[in-house]
Structure 1
């Protein structure tokens, strides 16, 4: 998945997350709470995660039905609820489709999905989708020919 990160200091960069975020624990359901530990700059950071609901999210990659995960960071075991992230996770994309960062309840930055390819889901039309109409037309023509020959056979008696 390609994710675009946008920040308020007029800098934009693209990052690729492959594999997706490892601290997301499946299955996800509303009300689920869990902790995860990540390593960052030689420091262990405890994450407190909670699925707070579901929401429809639109990005350049498409529209997604997402679980909303609030992530509170606890560096050195100290929780500061004024700084948190919200992750929007979609089963269709198999990844996080949008992440928002908050400080004192103010949005300070976000990332969103630009494109994806995940199993049977994709924001690109699969090749077989173009074959189906041609096969249907072919079957229709064969049925017409069969009916026509049966009609002639019955009329000839």
Structure 2
């Protein structure tokens, strides 16, 4: 007889960066699935699409927290969560974890926090945009704030 796979216990949430798409982290997803075929490896989709990463960290982080909560609800067997964010995705992930964190239990969305990893995430903010010397500083600031909107201000 064919053995049924055990229910998933681990959740990995992968979060893309500014102007990105879930597919940006598809290779990492494949690697994690190969390493642990029973895990849920979720590519966050809530901040993909035109201009979705430009309305601020609070908005994007809140959307991500809601998406993570929905995934957890669909898989009641989950016990542990790991969140991996690339660039702005790391900032969104940090904000979402804060929203999902329960101090009394130390849990994130009701799950034990396993790992929080970020790559190329500007945890200390970002400097001026543009190519130094090629674009006047005033134009750099105007362009950055106009294009990235609330996200760059936060």
Per the normalisation by structure 1, the TM-score is 0.28
Greater helix share, 1 or 2? 2
Higher relative contact order (CA 8 A, sep 6+): 2
TM-score by length of 2: 0.29
Q: Which has the larger radius of gyration?
A: 1
Higher strand share: 1
